[in-house]
Amino acid sequence: MEILEQMKKEFTKQFGEKATRSYFSPGRVNLIGEHTDYNGGHVFPCAISLGTYALVADREDMTTRMYSMNLADKGIIEFPMTGLAYDAAKNWANYPMGVVDVFEKAGHKATHGFDILIYGTLPAGAGLSSSASLEVLTSVILNEAFDFKLDMIEMVKLSQKAENQFVGVNCGIMDQFAVGMGKKDCAILLDCNTLSYRYSKIALKDASIVITNTNKPHSLASSAYNVRRAQCEHALNELKEVKPDLTALGELGNDEFNQIAGHIEEVLERHRARHAVYENNRTLAAVKALENDDVKEFGCLMNESHFSLRDDYEVTGKELDTLAEIAWQQEGVIGSRMTGAGFGGSTVSLVKNDAIEAFKKNVGEAYTKKIGYAPSFVVASIADGTHRLAD
């Protein structure tokens, strides 16, 4: 494991001691079911083989020192293991700090700090959940070090809480859930309303998942994400006037929604709600298609998902639309759509294995010609969730 060997050398260089244990936390890609998680709908993500590695050594005091090989210019960032508050100067370390803080507030108090070296293989700004990867990673390190005996779902919830309450991004549960609960060669059908879930084997036969990064950075906290969320909540409240027992948009069938959609006053909010409802039902249909070995139908539903995110939810933008439109024209492409929050980030495509090289070449050239800079490609394999690595 070349990465870990390099990390061990760097750890000794930065901290003057040897690391005692190592961990890996994956990124995630969502195959279908976008912006449904906070609308009480279903999502269908999987953990991927790219992610965040950590080397850890215990300290005897209450200070934690963190260093990222990806952000070497930020140097070693220090923070205490108690009484934390968000600190913009601490940059990326606010994600692990947030986890320490929500653990403490939940009664899981640290009794010492750590030296932690981080190295991430997820491309920055690609929308593959590098923040959730780091949060769940921190949760697992704390849980193991202090024997808190939390199960993964509890750690997933605390990790989400850290992002919501400490970092201030009102994300749903999907990212942390996929990162923590990932399983090799499976995607997870997760009901975000109830957290009931099941694994579905991804048998793509002669095709692979190709993630294409627009290389346009996006920032969730400053994007229109919270606005979309508020629009859906407002639409839901208006629908509750005619359907008082409704608790989430994800509970509605398409026909049922169409019958009562007129009660949403704002046309724009009606579009936002329609995406949430239709995307949820599309996700259920897509999983069913995949389990029936109908990969072609799954691909069609991926394309429809992109149309809805573009037209009803308006979170795609020129770069993502360009990538999807070029992908749809390529030989061997089963389906392609934006994945993640949108406004930059990546698309996910199902591509026949014998067409992948041509796909990269053609999409790369056409996108560069139109946008002015090149995209980048990752052929992802589906991985296990956050775990300690064998020593």
Residues with catalytic roles: 175
Please return the burial class of 150, using the count of CB atoms within 10 Å of its CB with bins 0-12, 13-18 and 19+: buried
CB within 8 Å of 7: residues ≥ 6 apart: 19, 22, 53, 55, 69, 117, 119
Give all strands (DSSP E) within the chain, no chain letters. Answer: 21-30, 42-43, 45-58, 63-68, 77-80, 114-120, 186-191, 197-201, 207-213, 333-339, 346-352, 376-380, 387-388
Q: How many helices (H) and strands (E) does the chain have?
A: 11, 13
Which residues, in sequence order, are CB contacts of 375 under 8 Å at separation 6+?
A: 212, 213, 214, 215, 323, 363, 364, 367, 368
CA gap 240, 249 in Å, rounded: 10
Q: Which residue has the tokens 């083989």?
A: 49
Q: Which residue type, as a one-letter code, is found at position 104?
A: E
Beta bridge partners of 335: 350
- Helix or strand (DSSP H, E) at 307: helix 295-311
What's the token pair of residue 121?
């293989």
The 3-state DSSP class for residue 3 equals helix
CA distance 353 to 180: 28
Buried-exposed string 306-328: b where 16+ CB fall within 10 A, e elsewhere = bebbbebbbbbbebbbbbbebbe
Cα gap 347→317, rounded to integer Å = 12
Query: In whole angstroms, what is the distance from residue 372 CA to residue 75 CA?
Result: 33
